[in-house]
Structure 1
């Protein structure tokens, strides 16, 4: 059966003085069924982080508008968008005397294929129904410690250096990117992109239940409400984009006017 897309992007300022996250779901200007979801978590002093995250969205939209799916790869689009954003954010340091940085996580949706990439600790989760199929691995100090067996994933949640990133857009060093894709898509699949102000308050099982049981819009609303409750007045900016794949019921063709089906006769 054909598959439809149910999508929603949402954010909340949390308990911060400024919203430095940016989130968008961008349709391709000319290609039906092609869209790009982006979450960027900006850092770097007053307005600096917001400008960095805004640059990620701006660069992504510009590249998507010029993207030709038949001539260019999805990975090229994602990597080029993050690389260009990195260059522009880095250049802005000399103009505004700030130290802006941003994370980025992006998902490109095309008919029959989903491709994603990220830099930093904004995440992408992939579910089938309520079952986790995988998530991105943060480019953070604690994820490195987990990978080498120094701490457990549970210890990483409360580690004092859990917010230290190993790479980001706009830093002095060349950023690190990771990519993945899938053509194994089914109705009931869902993808969630989010900043750390969201994922810090949920385990994967609860996320899966919320996404499987609700529309994209309702899931976003419930996730933000729960994160705000659990933050206890100290919550970070929250941003997320949810993409759900739904099965479309195709109506049966009506018989032509005046057509009367024959009843079979036994010989």
Structure 2
């Protein structure tokens, strides 16, 4: 029998140090099925016109397909793959009239009412699962430096500071079909935390730092803190930032006051 739980969630978005916002983020509750939730982050690329058009298309496609989804009869992974494929096709069509080549990443997760959670991503926007202050799993970027890491030629730390860390080997809107990587959490448990975010957020934090912040703060506090801290660490050169935080709590769990961890870096100063 599935244990009853509730979701506590927040989204955050900021243009960072860029002149315009190309990221888009949404956390959608299904209009007909209580407890069915879909979160999506899209990092648009291709200039002011192209990038925003691409991420807008991801959001529009996601909303349309999710509204038609039934968790009782439809396949969750098929829905997520359809969102990626359909978004890619629409973005490719948009490129015909766009000022610049529109592209976008996508990181999307679907939580069904019975507690199973499905992920899909293309590009370098990420989804993380944390529990008990530790990283359980994260997506693997479709990027040049991640390929080097996978081959053992770079460490994760080296990849983060590599001069070509922004080069993608797959995304929506490119000439070839986007890579689609899927992941399943068979049953979410109280204490699980999901984070979906663009590279403008995750680039500035280790998994341990993310785990500490998300474990210690409410979702809203965590989104505000991570945006502020990422902007500080970017030192005037930061990208657009977007993120979704979802915490899973037992229904009978009493609300605890969040306590800040005692790490010296956990402050709003630079």
Do Structure 1 and Structure 2 share a fold, with TM-score over 0.5? yes
Coordinate RMSD, CA, aligned = 1.2
Of residues 118, 123, 144 in structure 1, which corresponds to 2:126? 123
| Displaced runs of 4 or more, over 3 A | none
Q: Does 1:239 align with 2:233?
A: no
Structure 2: distance between partners of 1:14 and 1:4: 32
Measured in 2, the distance between the counterparts of 1:184 and 1:46 equals 40
* 1:225 equivalent in alignment to 2:234: no
- In the alignment, structure 1 segments of 5+ residues that lack a partner are 252-267
- Provide, for residues 205-237 of structure 1, a one-character-per-residue CA deviation record: whole Å limited to 9, x for no partner: 110111111111111011111111111111100
SS in 2 for 1:95: coil
Give the match for residue 153 of structure 1.
Answer: 156
Partner of 2:77: 75
Which SS does the other structure have where 2:149 is aligned? helix
Deviates more, 1:227-236 or 1:99-108: 227-236
- Structure 2 runs not aligned, ≥5 long: 255-270
SS at match of 2:47: coil
Q: CA deviation at 1:45?
A: 1.5
Instruction: Report the secondary structure of 1:90's partner residue.
Output: helix
How much has 1:97 moved relative to structure 2?
A: 4.0
* Aligned counterparts, 1:39-50, within 5 A: 39-50=41-52
- In 2, Cα distance between equivalents of 1:96 and 1:123: 27
Look up the SS of the partner of 1:144 in the other structure. helix
**Aligned partners of 1:10 and 1:31: how far apart in 2?**
25
- Is 1:248 aligned to 2:251, yes or no? yes
Deviations 1:168-195 (A, max 9, x none): 1001001100001112321111000000
Distance 1:222 1:34, change over 3 A: same
Measured in 1, the distance between the counterparts of 2:209 and 2:112 equals: 28
Q: State the Cα deviation string for residues 1-25 of structure 1 (Å, max 9, x = none).
A: 6311001111111000000000000
Question: What is residue 144 of structure 1 aligned with on the other side?
Answer: 147
Q: Residue 46 of structure 1: CA displacement?
A: 2.1
**SS where residue 96 of structure 1 aligns?**
coil
Instruction: Provide the rounded CA distance (Å) in 1 between the counterparts of 2:132 and 2:206.
Output: 16
Query: Within 2, Cα distance between the matches of 1:206 and 1:158?
Result: 17
1:203 corresponds in structure 2 to 206
Provide the secondary structure at the position in 2 that maps to 1:25: strand
Partner of 2:191: 188
